[in-house]
DNA sequence: TTTTGTAATATTGTATACAATTCTGGATTG
DNA sequence: CAATCCAGAATTGTATACAATATTACAAAA
């Protein structure tokens, strides 16, 4: 049976995370546990578990006197989060290059990049959904290259911060100028990363992967210029102070 | 009143973490919540909160069918954790160099390094306690250099993994050959890191900091050679499979 | 008018009770 | 003898009740 009945904790996590990212509760006000539990239709126990977890993820922050509030991020925070993801993914790429990667994984990565190429060569210029899916798959796979649970964990963790994940800015292409060109550039970087890893070129793999992450930074900056109208569309953007 | 009465959750966290690190519950067996709660003298509620947190830290791992067990680490895991700490601390150093650091912080760091020098020049050859304290202070301060909550958080998080913190191997000097010499080498690296940061030399600061972390790796390898007798003395070492 | 104290209220932190699973052991069957 | 199934026991997941703490509103005093 593939569809296990979701636990209350899972429901609380999904519901709470989505509510928080929507920006509805932004403003530093304390989240009321009873109200939230009622809204989500569960008891305080799993809700509090979910809150603890979101605090650990950084989406919520504790209030000294009790309870928690939605965290708020500066633009610099997002910038740092993206940089950190690049650093950690870059480390994965470097370690992979230095230690070698299972041939099956490399082949799998190559196949993913082929599919991205196909997405970029679609009849109407771009199969966007396919690009998004396969891009996420490539990054997931890269995290597994070094065969290190520690490294994989840290990558996954960084990707939880709002707007720091490799797919964070792929839902809002419309607002990003020359965005198809940007996707093609990103794909060339993908190829170069895989090539460097395969060739055992650690420094190159690391540098390329860092630079690749910085595409997200560019997109973030574009996004900020047409901010107000997007705040409600881009999940997590509402948590970024407009300063 | 400086001594606030500890919350039950705090007590649960301390007690559970110390029990887990002691290695008493190693072996993949599920931790019984009722037994553990009884042993710590509190109810299941704060204990379960503490367990959730230790799972997030990586000290415990969930069991699919419910509950959790003490995590077990390979030597490679420890090695990777140390490497990752080096990478992240290295990023802090690089960013600090690139962005500039508040003069007061730099002065404070210099003062700490002076005190480490004093500890190394003590009458009986070494004021060990002072070295440990000031070394930890230097690393804490370095984490604050880039003035980035995101970076600071990640450093703190990596330091929670067993044997990955900057002070992890400073309690067991006895077993490490030439350990005084090793401390002096580490202190030279401290100086060089601070110099690079001050001079805005990002690449140098990053490389030095990474290399500095690898001292921990050397110590870990030494430790592994005289393993059995130390397993009970070094907190966290019991979680590392002897393979 | 502002500040301070205080009681009432509301909210979180903790313990316990209940429900739903999972685990164990042994009997049964092939 | 091995594998399977089932009941009973034990354990976790969830809800609720209770206790401790923080917040609020209002009154009194400077």
State ipTM.
0.92
Per the prediction, chain A carries an average pLDDT of: 93
Same domain, B21 and B126: no
Residue A54 and residue A137: Cα distance in Å, rounded? 24
Residue A191 forms part of a structural domain? yes
- According to DSSP, the residues that pair with A68 across neighbouring strands are A62
Give the other-Cβ count within 10 Å of A189's Cβ.
Answer: 16
Nearest to B79 by CA among A148, A89, A92, A154: A148
| Rounded distance in angstroms from the CA atom of residue B47 to the C1' atom of nucleotide C11 | 22
Predicted confidence (pLDDT) at residue A172 exceeds the cutoff of 70 = no
Residue B242 forms part of a structural domain? no
Residue B50 and residue B16: Cα distance in Å, rounded? 7
Predicted confidence (pLDDT) at residue A3 exceeds the cutoff of 60 = no
Residue B130 distance to chain A (closest CA, Å): 32
Q: What angle do CA A18, A20, A25 make, to 5 degrees?
A: 135
A-chain CB neighbours of B77 within 8 Å are: 148-150
B-chain CB neighbours of A49 within 8 Å are: 48-49, 52
> CB B95 to CB A87 under 8 A?
no
Residue A242 forms part of a structural domain? no
Give the mean model confidence (pLDDT) for residues B126-140.
94
Same domain, A219 and A127: yes
Same domain, A79 and A134: yes
pLDDT at A173: 63
Same domain, A61 and A170: no
Q: How far is CA B67 from CA B42, B45, B60, B64, B70, in A?
A: 18, 13, 10, 8, 11
Same domain, A84 and A139: yes
* Number of domains forming the structure of chain A: 2
Give the mean model confidence (pLDDT) for residues A131-146.
97
- The band of A25, judged by pLDDT with boundaries at 50, 70 and 90, is very high
Chain A interface includes B80 (CB < 8 A): yes
Give the mean model confidence (pLDDT) for residues B107-133.
93
Residue B119 and residue B170: Cα distance in Å, rounded? 14
- The band of A175, judged by pLDDT with boundaries at 50, 70 and 90, is low
Same domain, A99 and A205: yes
- Residue A168, classed as helix, strand or coil, is coil
For residue range B7-62, what is the model confidence (pLDDT) as tens digits? 999 999 999 999 999 999 999 999 999 999 999 999 999 999 999 999 999 999 99
pLDDT at A74: 96
pLDDT at B177: 63
pLDDT at A1: 29
Name the nucleotide with the smallest C1'–CA separation from B65: C22
Predicted confidence (pLDDT) at residue B148 exceeds the cutoff of 90 = yes
Predicted confidence (pLDDT) at residue A105 exceeds the cutoff of 60 = yes
Structure tokens at B64: 């699919």
Chain B interface includes A181 (CB < 8 A): no
Radius of gyration of chain B (CA): 19
Same domain, A134 and A96: yes
- The band of B229, judged by pLDDT with boundaries at 50, 70 and 90, is confident
Name the nucleotide with the smallest C1'–CA separation from A43: D15
Please tell me what DSSP assigns to residue B31: P
Nearest to B239 by CA among B163, B173, B157: B163
User: Which percentage of chain A shows pLDDT scores above 90?
Assistant: 81
Q: How far is residue B46 CA from its own chain's centroid? A: 25
Predicted confidence (pLDDT) at residue A52 exceeds the cutoff of 70 = yes
Contact B197, B203 (CB under 8 A): no
Q: Which residue has the higher pLDDT, B112 or B227?
A: B112
Strand D and B44 CB separated by under 7 Å: yes
Residue B214 forms part of a structural domain? yes
Residue B199 forms part of a structural domain? yes
- Residue A75, classed as helix, strand or coil, is helix
- Find where tokens 């603890």 sit: A52
Chain A interface includes B91 (CB < 8 A): yes
- The band of A177, judged by pLDDT with boundaries at 50, 70 and 90, is low
pLDDT at B176: 64
Residue A42 and residue A12: Cα distance in Å, rounded? 8
Residue A150 and residue A137: Cα distance in Å, rounded? 19
Residue B103 forms part of a structural domain? yes
pLDDT at B117: 97
User: Which percentage of chain B shows pLDDT scores above 90?
Assistant: 81
* Alpha-carbon dihedral sign for residues A45, A46, A50, A53: positive
- The band of B172, judged by pLDDT with boundaries at 50, 70 and 90, is low
Same domain, A82 and A60: no
Residue A99 distance to chain B (closest CA, Å): 12
- According to DSSP, the residues that pair with A70 across neighbouring strands are A60
Same domain, B203 and B94: yes
Contact A51, A17 (CB under 8 A): no
Residue B150 distance to chain A (closest CA, Å): 6
Nearest to B58 by CA among B216, B152, B164: B164
Same domain, A8 and A121: no
List the single best residue of B55, B80, B88, B240 to mutate versus A (max A Cβ within 10 A).
B80
User: Which percentage of chain A shows pLDDT scores above 70?
Assistant: 96
Name the nucleotide with the smallest C1'–CA separation from A12: D14
Predicted confidence (pLDDT) at residue A4 exceeds the cutoff of 60 = no
Residue A63 forms part of a structural domain? yes
Nearest to B12 by CA among B81, B26, B38, B203: B38
Residue A243 forms part of a structural domain? no
Residue A238 and residue A236: Cα distance in Å, rounded? 5
Q: Which of A70, A89, A123 is the last residue of a domain?
A: A70
Same domain, B59 and B105: no
Q: Which of B12, B35, B70 is the last residue of a domain?
A: B70
Same domain, A181 and A219: yes
For residue range A190-214, what is the model confidence (pLDDT) as tens digits? 999 999 999 999 999 999 999 999 9
| CATH number of the CATH domain containing B32 | 1.10.10.10
pLDDT at A223: 86
Q: What residues make up the domain containing A182?
A: 75-237
Q: Which of B70, B91, B119 is the last residue of a domain?
A: B70
Chain A interface includes B81 (CB < 8 A): yes
Closest residue in A to B48 (Cα) is: A49
Strand D contact nucleotides, protein CB < 7 Å: 11-17, 21-23
Contact B209, B89 (CB under 8 A): yes
Which of the residue ranges A29-33, A50-54, A69-73, A231-235 would you say has the lowest mean pLDDT? A231-235
Give the mean model confidence (pLDDT) for residues A79-83.
98
Give the mean model confidence (pLDDT) for residues A148-167.
95
Predicted confidence (pLDDT) at residue B230 exceeds the cutoff of 90 = no
pLDDT at A78: 97
- The band of B175, judged by pLDDT with boundaries at 50, 70 and 90, is low
> CB B80 to CB A53 under 8 A?
no
């Amino acid at each position: 049976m593939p569809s296990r009945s979701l636990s209350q904790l899972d429901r609380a996590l999904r519901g709470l995370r989505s509510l928080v990212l929507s920006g509805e509760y932004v403003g530093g006000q304390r989240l009321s546990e009873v109200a939230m539990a009622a809204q989500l239709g569960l008891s305080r126990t799993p809700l509090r578990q979910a809150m603890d977890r979101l605090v650990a993820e950084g989406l919520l922050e504790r209030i000294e006197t009790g309870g928690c509030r939605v965290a708020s991020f500066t633009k610099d925070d997002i910038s740092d989060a993206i940089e950190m993801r690049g650093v950690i993914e870059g480390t994965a790429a470097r370690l992979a290059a230095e230690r070698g990667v299972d041939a099956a994984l490399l082949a799998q990565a190559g196949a993913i990049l082929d599919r991205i190429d196909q997405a970029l060569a679609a009849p109407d210029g771009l199969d966007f959904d396919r690009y998004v899916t396969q891009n996420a798959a490539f990054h997931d796979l890269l995290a597994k290259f070094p065969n290190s649970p520690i490294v994989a964990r840290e990558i996954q963790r960084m990707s939880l911060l709002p707007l720091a994940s490799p797919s964070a800015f792929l839902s809002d292409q419309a607002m990003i100028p020359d965005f198809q060109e940007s996707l093609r550039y990103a794909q060339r970087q993908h190829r170069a990363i895989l090539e460097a890893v395969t060739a055992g070129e650690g420094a190159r793999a690391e540098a390329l992967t860092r630079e690749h992450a910085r595409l997200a930074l560019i997109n973030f900056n574009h996004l900020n210029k047409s901010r107000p109208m997007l705040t409600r569309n881009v999940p997590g953007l509402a948590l970024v102070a407009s300063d």
